[in-house]
Chain A
Amino acid sequence: MAEIWQGFLKAIELIVSLDPEVMEIAGRSLRISVTSCLLASFICIPLGSLIHFHNFRGKRAVINIIQTFFSLPTVCVGLFVFVLFSRAGPLGGLGIMFTPTAMVIGQMILITPILLGLTISALSGVSKEIVDTAISLGASSFQTTVAVLREARYAVLAAVTMGFGRAIAEVGCAIMVGGNIRGFTRVITTAISLETSKGELELSIALGIILLFLALIVNVALNRL
């Protein structure tokens, strides 16, 4: 119990003193997760709308598969990205292994199913009558899609928040494809993992609290939209 309390005090101390290393790690965590979340949103919201508004064979199956991938283990994504970008891998020539770019790609893969699946279910929550109302008022199919997305905006925003949450909180992929390189790919979660194994529990707890604090700021900002 004392350790948690100590950790809490340490967190406050680190935040208030703007400890340069902690700030750098936190900043990188935020940058990587926000980037992956934004990029994934740009892909998934339009793609989810496309799937929702079109009827095709196997649509149900596609949605089932997307939902299954909600449970994708982070280490599996890490493994996949590792195989893809390691020196000997098919995309090894790009030389992005153990860089923040690889981490962004990993996180994007990780949260894409969540963003896609939740976007589709957000759109399904909009009644057929609202869709008909938009069409009958002269909206083109693109305008109708935008109108329905706007109707479902809170649920879509919840999907984005969820995706961001999973991205900033994951450690498996970040450590496998980032490598936890100090000053380059070390993020809060990988730092916690390292500090805990070193026995630096206070620092770990402090970093955990800082991560939650970051999530709080992002959530407040998103809910302002």
Chain B
Amino acid sequence: MSLIEVVGLNHRYGERKVLENINLNINKGEAFCLIGSTGAGKTTLLRLIDLLETPASGDIYFDGLCIPKSGRQRLEIRRRMAFVLQKPQVFNLSVYDNVASGLRWRREKKDRIDKKVNEILEMVGLEDYRNRNARTLSGGEAQRVALARAMVIEPEILLLDEPTANLDPGSTAKIEQLVSYISEQGNTTIIMATHDMPQGQHLANRIGVLLDGKIVQTGDVEQVFRSPQDEEVANFVGMENIIEGVVTANNEGMVTLDIGGGAIQAVSDFPVGERVYVCVRPEDITLALSRTQSSARNSFYGKITQVVSFGPLTRVEMDCGFRLVSLVTKVSVEELSLQKRKEVYASFKATGVHLIKRRAK
């Protein structure tokens, strides 16, 4: 059942349209991730859901109840949610008082507040800082205070706006760990905005892609990342190989595509003559030094034009008559001694190819 239902939501700041006809269902207990580039309207959508602003038009339903545009009821509904902002925000008070704020505003009993705050501080690993002024903490610690302060009120919905955008990798890992812990408990519905793809992939059950104020695709993680519904989404979710092609044959669901300089086979039911974008995720492409016998139906000979390593993975760009990008492990790079101008065979399966219909321009 939907806990949050957004219907025909529009919002503008002055003349600028920020959100356009947003329709969205968020189910009880799920971790929903809004992904989109900076300025796409993610923060605004979260602010509208948290009732920090009222939409220009459209409605939001909370647990089946249409949220009024003004009045006391908004406070009551807002008190069932908590929002962690992108930039760590702490009050100029002790860590303890920061975390206790929400409970005090709800007029909880003192001993109950004490018990809950201490529990949560222990959980986020800040129990030794309880009497320290929160303003003296590092960004990562401050964000943990903000998360603890939100969690302690046991919200039905936890809204997170790029909670790790300004943090170092260590702090990011800690915040992600906490979020995934909350998510596993299953009592809290999480709505998180991020432009960090792996984070979305890792923390979410379901993803909504927000581009230019519009929800362009929603679906489970696998679906959005493997089968983006248009070129824009494909670009956004890290589908680095997007090649224009035309279907030249369809043999019972196995199509052959002419990409001008080669043919690719893919699983699809597009008819012959359909103009498509051929999408292959870089991590689905394997490299070898000779044409090997494998189950991969597509194999291309090419020359490496660029090798860039980041972290455990290396991004290899090659020219196979068309540009192809592959992500391989460091071990493979060493074993195959991949470097610029080296000749390789790139292979990928027909099932690893995703086709998007090209719209007439």
Hey, which bits of chain A sit against chain B, CB under 8 A? Answer: 127, 129-130, 132-140, 143, 147, 150-151
Contacts and interface: CB of A to CB of B under 8 A. Distances in A.
10 nearest CB pairs, A to B: A136-B83, A138-B79, A137-B102, A133-B89, A139-B105, A129-B89, A143-B105, A138-B105, A136-B50, A138-B102
Contact of A138 (B92, B146, B153, B159): B153
Contacts of A151: 91-92
A136 B93 CA distance: 18
Contact of B89 (A130, A140, A150): A130
A136 to B, nearest CB: 4
A147 B91 contact: yes
B78 interface: yes
B18 to A, nearest CB: 16
B156 to A, nearest CB: 12
Contacts of B153: 137-138
Given A130-B91, A147-B91, A137 B85 contact: no
27 contacts: A129-B85, A129-B87, A130-B91, A132-B83, A132-B85, A132-B89, A133-B85, A133-B89, A133-B146, A134-B91, A135-B52, A135-B78, A136-B78, A136-B82, A136-B83, A136-B85, A136-B159, A137-B82, A137-B101, A138-B75, A138-B105, A138-B153, A139-B101, A147-B101, A150-B91, A150-B93, A151-B92
Interface residues on chain B, size class: 20 to 34
B202 interface: no
B257 interface: no
Interface string B153-197: 100000100000000000000000000000000000000000000
A143 B102 CA distance: 10
A135 B101 CA distance: 11
B237 interface: no
Contacts of A130: 89, 91
A151 B133 CA distance: 12
Contacts of B50: 136
Nearest to B87: A129
A30 B106 CA distance: 41
A155 to B, nearest CB: 11
A162 B144 CA distance: 38
Given A133-B146, A137-B82, 13 more contacts: A129-B87, A130-B91, A132-B83, A133-B89, A136-B82, A136-B159, A137-B83, A138-B78, A138-B79, A138-B82, A138-B102, A147-B101, A150-B93
A132 B52 contact: yes
Given A129-B87, A151-B91, A134 B101 contact: yes
B330 to A, nearest CB: 41
Contact of A136 (B52, B87, B91, B92): B52
Contacts of B75: 138, 140
Contacts of B91: 130, 133-134, 147, 150-151
A79 B85 CA distance: 53
Contacts of B79: 138
Contacts of A147: 91, 101
B320 to A, nearest CB: 49
B150 interface: yes
B206 interface: no
A71 to B, nearest CB: 32
A179 B101 CA distance: 51
Contact of B105 (A132, A137, A150): A137
A135 to B, nearest CB: 6
A150 B153 CA distance: 21
B275 interface: no
B299 to A, nearest CB: 53
Contacts of A138: 75, 78-79, 82, 102, 105-106, 153
Contacts of A139: 101, 105
A137 B85 CA distance: 11
A137 B149 contact: yes
Contacts of A134: 91, 101
* Max chain A Cβ within 10 angstroms of own Cβ: one of B50, B78, B93: B78
Interface in B65-124: 75, 78-79, 81-83, 85, 87, 89, 91-93, 101-102, 105-106
* Max chain A Cβ within 10 angstroms of own Cβ: one of B47, B93, B102: B102
Nearest to A132: B52
Nearest to B97: A150
Interface string B217-230: 00000000000000
A43 to B, nearest CB: 25
A143 B103 CA distance: 12
Contacts of B102: 137-138
Contacts of B89: 127, 129-130, 132-133
A129 B106 CA distance: 21
A151 B89 CA distance: 12
A150 B105 CA distance: 14
Contacts of B105: 137-140, 143
A140 B150 CA distance: 16
B155 to A, nearest CB: 9
Contacts of A140: 75, 105
A198 B211 CA distance: 81
B87 A137 contact: no
A130 B159 CA distance: 16
A127 B90 CA distance: 11
